[in-house]
Amino acid sequence: MRASTLLTASLLIVILLAPQWGAQAADMYPPTVSDAPQGLQDAVLALVADPNALPAYNCAHYVITSYTLREVGIYNVSLTGLTSQADPNTWSVFDGVSLCETRIVEVTVYSDGTWHASSLPNNYLIDPGGGNGDSSPRVYFPWAAGYAAYYGTLGVHGEGDFGLTGWYAVDWVGGDEYGEQNSYDGLIFASQTAVIDYVCRDGTSLAIRAGDFLYAHLNPALPLDIGDTIYRGQPIGTVVRGSFSDNCGHAVQADNHYHVHWMFHPDGNRMIVEDWVLDIQTQNWTSMVTGETVGPGSWIVSSWGTTGYGSGEGGGETTTYEPAPVGSGQSLWDPIVNASLNALAGVMSLFPAGRSWGVFSSMTRNAAVAIRIGWILMRSHFSLIVPFLVVSTIMLTETIILAFRLVRIIIRIIALVKSLIPVVG
């Protein structure tokens, strides 16, 4: 009996102590933001290394990818959890082996100067985006209404990027040589109204998650952080051009190309955006208005704020949506400004290359010398008809070129003014 009692007690001790023996506390990799206060870093390290923290921090490593001062003495911190395979110098949210999870942490600075970190609920996986077209708020494509973007040849990909299980991504590509067919020029707009709850920022690019969408490859200098609200149809900022590679994103593309890595949490096997339905399995988009189906390598035109769902799953009714923000969408001025710019560009192409404004001082000096020489020749009764015609022709040509340049500047000013007034229609 005594032996069995001792054996039972020993087994209980082993069971109770096994988690402590087998568990290895998480540690911190260097933050992707270089200015994170040391007190903040130490507080987060103490939290993730605490075996009693709830919810538990089960990843091998954690990285501070962004932080923001929410109010006096309180910071919101974006954490990216990494697996044991993640290299501290070369890990990436896209490498397929590094990502474990994402977290939001609150860090408080007390009056005595101490820092304390605490977990916030992981409530970022809200209802799937897109909905069924009946009750969910309409989702916008992430570029300006009326313009097209190229559906990347990778199609639907990126499942699990940023540690988001059940999320997928598509690339919306642009390039300078595509001309007016792709005029969004790398400016990205919010697809839905939501609060930013995760940020990954390094010195090369920026990724933000808000609601059902994550936007990657943004310009890292954009003033976006946790707790900021972005509104559907609001310009978020531009994307990075050319190839790059860092912790928060990478791309292999020409210097004049760009794309947004647009992640979403679909409603089952589909995603509804504006008047289009994406089938996750076939990777094709189908228009609910025209019935047209397009796959990777095709152009899609955004029409947010201008049409309803049309016939089909949307119920055949036109819905009133949020107005497009100032400076975006189509307005009364678009055809006039675009036609004027196109006509002027065609005319200007017939003239020689323009000269810089810096040549005017030398032109003035040359003109003064020419006048003096002309005065001397006139006093000597020299015939000035031929020189006068030559000089007049040159001056007239310069004047015409200058006039066209001034007209082009005026038209661009009109375009700028147009972008600053509310849209109509």
The SS3 assignment for 281 reads coil
d(C-alpha 18, C-alpha 188), whole Å: 51
Q: Tell whether 213 is covered by a domain.
A: yes
Domain co-membership, 92 together with 219: no
Query: Cα separations (Å) of 215 from 84, 218, 288, 358?
Result: 26, 7, 25, 43
Domain co-membership, 308 together with 259: yes
Domain co-membership, 317 together with 183: yes
Q: Tell whether 8 is covered by a domain.
A: no
- Rounded to an integer, the average pLDDT of 351-369 is 52
Q: Which residues contact 19 (CB under 8 A, 6 or more apart)?
A: 51
The structural domain count of the chain equals: 3
Domain co-membership, 309 together with 264: yes
CB 112 within 8 Å of CB 93: no
pLDDT band at 165 (very low <50, low <70, confident <90, very high): confident
pTM exceeding the 0.85 threshold for the entire prediction: no
d(C-alpha 389, C-alpha 382), whole Å: 15
Query: Cα separations (Å) of 286 from 290, 302, 349, 370?
Result: 8, 13, 40, 69
Q: Tell whether 132 is covered by a domain.
A: no
Q: Tell whether 80 is covered by a domain.
A: yes
Q: Tell whether 1 is covered by a domain.
A: no
Domain co-membership, 271 together with 358: no
Domain co-membership, 97 together with 53: yes
Domain co-membership, 165 together with 312: yes
CB 262 within 8 Å of CB 215: yes
Domain co-membership, 101 together with 226: no
Domain co-membership, 219 together with 357: no
d(C-alpha 241, C-alpha 250), whole Å: 11
pLDDT tens, 31-67?
A: 988 888 999 999 999 999 998 887 888 889 999 998 8
- Rounded to an integer, the average pLDDT of 372-390 is 69
d(C-alpha 74, C-alpha 106), whole Å: 7
Domain co-membership, 239 together with 298: yes
d(C-alpha 109, C-alpha 73), whole Å: 5
Domain range for 361 is 337-420
d(C-alpha 143, C-alpha 186), whole Å: 8
Q: The tokens of 335 are what?
A: 């055809």
Q: Tell whether 5 is covered by a domain.
A: no
Which one, of 178, 167, 175, 149, lies nearest residue 207 by Cα? 167
Domain co-membership, 68 together with 38: yes
pLDDT of amino acid 199 = 93
Domain co-membership, 221 together with 320: yes
The SS3 assignment for 412 reads helix
Q: Tell whether 175 is covered by a domain.
A: yes
Q: Tell whether 136 is covered by a domain.
A: no
Q: Which of 295, 325, 355 is the last residue of a domain?
A: 325
Q: Which of 297, 325, 353 is the last residue of a domain?
A: 325
Lowest mean pLDDT across 229-238, 240-249, 363-372: 363-372
- Rounded to an integer, the average pLDDT of 209-219 is 94
CB atoms within 10 A of CB 260: 28
- Rounded to an integer, the average pLDDT of 185-210 is 92
Q: Which of 300, 325, 350 is the last residue of a domain?
A: 325
